[in-house]
Amino acid sequence: MGQDIYREVQKMIDKFSMGFPETDSGVEIKILKKLFSEEDAQVFLKLSPMLEDVATIAGKLGQSEEQAGDKLADMAARGLAFSLRKGDKYYYAAVPFVHGLFEFQVKRLDKELADMVGQLMAEKMAVNMQENAGGFLRTIPVQEAVDSTLNVAAYEDVENILRSKDLIVVTDCICRKRAEVVSESCGKPLEACFMFGSMGQFYLDHDMGRKVDVDEALQIVKDCQAEGLVTQPASAQNPAGMCNCCGDCCGVLLALRFHPKPAEAVLSNYYARVDREECNGCEECIERCQMDAIIMSGAGKAEINLDRCIGCGLCVSGCSTGAISLIAKDEKELKVPAKNSMEQMLNMAKNRGVL
């Protein structure tokens, strides 16, 4: 069994979300062997990405409900499966590598795993992220950067998103946590990612985050944006999570920085524009831009490369003279995110050709 069962798991996970590609070095198998025992792998292969109750999974495994329930609870506690309690019944599901197996190691991430994930990113995963960035996360603008006369869609308004959630849980950013573990930290805030609803409850159940109210969540977002982090909810109108990302550590943004035209790869409905008369050449906008979308002209004025601008608005909020503004794209160019997480995952699967 050995290597074969881990390859089966790899192929299964590769069909989910961003995928989990096979590499020349085999680092993906090393990651699986670190996370899963062979028994874990056998159970994982019987799971569905759709929630199933213990009785159903026990039938697949040929085990008693008690035996299967104990094993599934143990795997969920180690971040190897998703769990949800409804009344007195528990439900479990298989999870992608991102968002899933990797993020669920946030409290137990060590240097060995951090190094292996870094190698996976360098070999293959970054390409997956470049090609599927818009399906996974979307960029929404800093609120202060948007003209109050513009009609901002509810799904692009960070305050509206947070106020619509019954449960908000904040957790450490796994990307900056990985960078910190391998001594490559950018120094930006760690506690910066939000989980909502059943995903938030999963994080609470397994001590991976803490519950916050709307006011504290909004303050966290404000602090993150002040530090130059890009606010990115999942690419759904009703997102299950929302991150505040940097171009140094975030897998998605880091991959996009190497994309020749990040604006084409992301789901964003805004772009920045500079009033050259008002620009004083301070270069603060260059420091805040995560996509290297701003350069200084020969006349010492900021210029926006629209192929690279992802419309986050960080340059606008950091401009002391008000020389930069955020402009809504033409209606024919607007991109509407999926209605919910299920539609988002199906869209990503179709885009990757695995459905």
Query: How many whole angstroms separate alpha carbon 15 and alpha carbon 7?
Result: 13
The reply to whether 242 and 277 lie within a common domain is: no
CA distance 232 to 312: 9
What is the 3-state secondary structure of 10-41? HHHHCCCCCCCCCCCCCHHHHHHHHHCCHHHH
In terms of domains, do 33 and 87 share one? yes
pLDDT for the residue numbered 2? 58
Same-domain status, 130 and 227: yes
Confidence (pLDDT) at 273: 95
Rounded distance, CA 279 to CA 275, Å?
A: 6
pLDDT of 350 higher than 90: no
Angstrom CA distances, 323 to 275, 307, 309, 320, 326, stand at: 5, 20, 16, 8, 10
Residue 68, domain member (yes or no) = yes
Within a domain: residue 52?
A: yes
Choosing from 40, 71, 101, the residue where a domain stops is 101
State the CATH number of the domain containing residue 58.
1.10.10.10
Determine, yes or no, domain membership for 139: yes
What total number of domains does the chain contain? 3
**Residue 187 region by backbone torsions, left for phi larger than 0, else alpha for psi between -120 and 50, else beta:** left
Is 208 found in the same domain as 93? no
Which residue intervals of the chain are DSSP H helices? 3-13, 27-35, 38-44, 54-61, 65-77, 111-120, 126-136, 158-163, 174-181, 197-205, 214-226, 251-257, 262-265, 284-288, 314-317, 341-351
Question: What is the reported pLDDT for 71?
Answer: 98
pLDDT value, residue 230 = 93
Mean pLDDT of 138-148: 78
pLDDT at 344: 87
- Supply the range of the domain harboring residue 11: 3-101
pLDDT at 354: 74
Q: Which of 48-52, 150-154, 249-253 has the lowest mean pLDDT?
A: 150-154
218 and 131 part of one domain? yes
Examine the domain organization and report whether 63 and 165 are in the same domain.
no
Among candidate residues 16, 75, 78, 6, the one with its CA nearest the CA of residue 45: 6
Kindly state whether residues 245 and 286 are assigned to the same domain: no
Provide, rounded to the nearest whole percent, the portion of the chain with pLDDT above 90: 75
Q: Does 181 share its domain with 250? A: yes
Which of 101, 126, 160 terminates a domain? The answer is 101
Is the domain of 141 the same as that of 247? Answer: yes
| pLDDT in the model for residue 348 | 84
Q: In CATH, what number is assigned to the domain containing residue 291?
A: 3.30.70.20
237 contacts: CB under 8 Å, gap ≥ 6: 154, 155, 336, 337, 338, 339, 340
Summarised one tens digit per residue, pLDDT across range 21-56 is 999 999 999 999 999 999 999 999 999 999 999 999
Indicate if the alpha-carbon torsion angle 200, 249, 41, 108 is positive or negative.
negative
What pLDDT is recorded for position 140?
86
State whether 246 and 293 are in the same domain.
no
Q: Does residue 110 carry a pLDDT above 60?
A: yes
199 in the same domain as 154 = yes
Token readout for 310 is 């992802």
pTM over 0.95: no
Q: Region 209-237: what's the mean pLDDT?
A: 95
At residue 148 the predicted structure's pLDDT band, cuts being 50, 70 and 90, is low
Q: Which of 117-121, 163-167, 348-352 has the lowest mean pLDDT?
A: 348-352
Instruction: Provide the pLDDT for residue 177.
Output: 96
In the structure encoding, which two tokens stand for residue 251, read together? 């897998």
How far apart are the two ends of the chain, measured CA to CA in Å? 28
- Average of pLDDT values for 290-304? 93
Q: How confident is the model at residue 355 (pLDDT cuts 50, 70, 90)?
A: low
Q: What is the pLDDT of residue 135?
A: 82
**Cα distances (angstroms) measured from residue 73 to each of 43, 54, 55, 97, 343:** 12, 10, 13, 19, 28
**Domain assignment of residue 50, yes or no:** yes
106, part of any domain = no
Both 314 and 172 in a single domain? no
In whole numbers, what is the pLDDT of the chain averaged over residues? Answer: 92
Among 74, 101, 128, which residue terminates a domain?
A: 101
Domain assignment present for 230: yes
- Going by pLDDT thresholds of 50, 70 and 90, the confidence category of residue 151 is low
pLDDT-based confidence at residue 87 (cuts at 50, 70, 90): very high
Taking the C-alpha atoms of residue 355 and residue 346, their distance in angstroms, rounded to an integer, is: 8
